[in-house]
Each structure stands twice: as C-alpha cells, then as structure tokens.
C-alpha cells in the first residue's frame, strides 16, 4: 500500500500543496480531481521524488519510507511516474524507449516478460517497435510513456493527465488499459481532467482545492454527488 501524510510542496513563498494525506491500496485505482493550479501535478511529482515533499512528509510504500529519496531510488522501490506531456525520448524507437524503462535493477530479470505484457496491453506498439517515437500520434506516444513506466515493474503507477489531447477513441483505449493494469495487481494513482471517465474506472477518489484535500470517497459516490457533478462533471444530473 502507498501511504502519504503531511506532504507539502512550496515554490518560493507559494505553497502549492499543504499537508496532503492519501492512501492507495494494492490493486486499486485512485483518482485525484481538482481544478487547474490546485496542486495535483505537484503532488504526484513530490511522491515520485521530483519535488521536495516537505520535512514533515511521510511517503511509504509497503512500509518503506520514500520521502527524501532520489527519484531513481523511488523507481527501484516500485513506484513509477508518467508525467504530463509524456516525457518520452522522441529520437529513440519504441523498442529503445521500452528498454530504457527496464533499466531499474528490480526490472532487469523480467524484462522480456514485462515487454510481452506491455505489447499485449498496447498491441499497436508491437506493430511499431522500430518506429521513431516522435513520428507517432499523441495517443501512441502516451502508450509508449505508460509502457516504459510499466517496464520498470512498478507496484504503483502514477499517471498525470494521461488522456490530455487524445481523441475519444484513444481515450477509451487508455481507460480500458487502466482496468487491465489494475487486474495485474498494479495500483494506480491518477490525476485526470476527464472526471467522468476516471470516476467510472476508479475505486476511490480525492478532491483537491488550493493544495488541500477537501473531500474523499468511493468513486461511485463522488460521481453521484451533486456538488462534484457541478464542479467536475458539467452540472448535476437530472432525476
């Protein structure tokens, strides 16, 4: 289980995240919903070791303290981030991007098996293994980014706005893939603009405003909450 407590992120005098606490259980999809600038991406970066999480922060995975470790050590512990914007190596091929994902010591022994799982999850990558990543569509590049993260054999996958800029068709493929990833026992902590689709696939959710968690609950309860509908789902549903 991933447990976060007392996590804060500060940029100069601005505190983007303030004392956040959350949990993600084994094989669970948890979504974080919030407006632009509410601290969602800063939260994920801090959990992944790309931003200082504050001196009081506690970030543990299966009981191991991760707060304060460098990002590469956090990957070795079993946590992988797919950042907003994907962050793939555009001049490398799909195969080479996936191979880099398996650089972590924890992943090397099972590299071939993990690659098979990624290509089964995203069959179109199997057709494009030798294609240069920058020549692919945005949706295909997102598959490469998620596949590269999965090659590190994570216990928890952090996803920052994975459907941003994708067509409805590819968006559907992405959310179906999240269900399969959960089925493999990998937990997912998801920041996502598409609140309706993310709540449909998630088990639980958190609401964040101005760097503070202001609500939490089962995904189906949040989806039916009139306040959540007004704020994130385009208005309350009519009876």
Each domain of the chain, given as residue ranges in start order, spans 27-47+70-232
Residue 189 CB coordination number (10 Å): 27
Q: Where are the alpha helices (DSSP H) in 33-70?
A: 40-47
Nearest CA to 189 out of 76, 28, 55, 53 is that of 28
- DSSP E strands: which ranges in 62-120? 64-65, 79-82
Entry pTM = 0.92
Q: What is the pLDDT along the chain (239 residues), one digit of tens a residue?
A: 999 999 999 999 899 999 999 999 999 999 999 999 999 999 999 999 999 998 899 999 999 999 999 999 999 999 999 999 888 999 999 999 999 999 999 998 899 999 999 999 999 999 999 999 999 998 899 999 999 999 999 999 999 999 888 888 888 889 999 999 999 999 999 999 889 999 999 999 999 999 999 999 999 999 999 999 998 887 554 43
Report the DSSP pairing between strands 156-160 and 204-209.
unpaired
Which tokens hold the place of 36? 């632009």
CB within 8 Å of 207: residues ≥ 6 apart: 32, 33, 34, 213, 214, 215, 216, 222, 228, 231
Nearest CA to 170 out of 134, 142, 200, 132 is that of 142
Specify the DSSP element, H or E, that contains 111.
Answer: helix 111-121
Q: Quick one: how far is CA 33 from the chain centroid?
A: 13
Which CATH class for the 27-47+70-232 domain? Answer: alpha beta
């Amino acid at each position: 289980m991933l447990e976060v407590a007392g996590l804060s992120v500060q940029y100069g005098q601005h505190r983007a995240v303030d004392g956040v606490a959350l949990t993600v259980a084994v094989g669970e999809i948890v979504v974080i919903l919030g407006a632009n600038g509410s601290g969602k991406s800063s939260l994920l970066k801090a959990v992944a070791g790309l931003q200082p999480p504050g001196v009081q922060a506690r970030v543990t995975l299966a009981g191991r303290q991760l707060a304060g470790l460098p990002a590469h050590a956090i990957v070795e512990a079993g946590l992988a981030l797919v950042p907003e914007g994907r962050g793939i190596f555009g001049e490398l091929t799909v195969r080479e991007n996936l191979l880099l994902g398996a650089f972590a010591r924890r992943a090397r022994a099972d590299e071939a098996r993990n690659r098979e799982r990624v290509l089964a999850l995203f069959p179109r990558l199997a057709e494009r293994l030798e294609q240069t990543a920058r020549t692919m569509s945005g949706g295909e590049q997102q598959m490469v980014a998620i596949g590269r993260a999965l090659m590190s054999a994570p216990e928890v996958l952090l996803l920052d706005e994975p459907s941003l800029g994708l067509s409805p068709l590819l968006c559907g493929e992405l959310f179906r893939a999240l269900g399969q990833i959960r089925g493999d026992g990998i937990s997912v902590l998801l920041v996502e603009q598409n609140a309706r689709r993310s709540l449909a696939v998630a088990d639980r959710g958190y609401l964040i405003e101005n760097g503070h968690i202001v609500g939490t609950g089962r995904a189906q309860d949040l989806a039916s909450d009139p306040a959540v509908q007004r704020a994130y789902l385009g208005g309350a549903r009519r009876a």
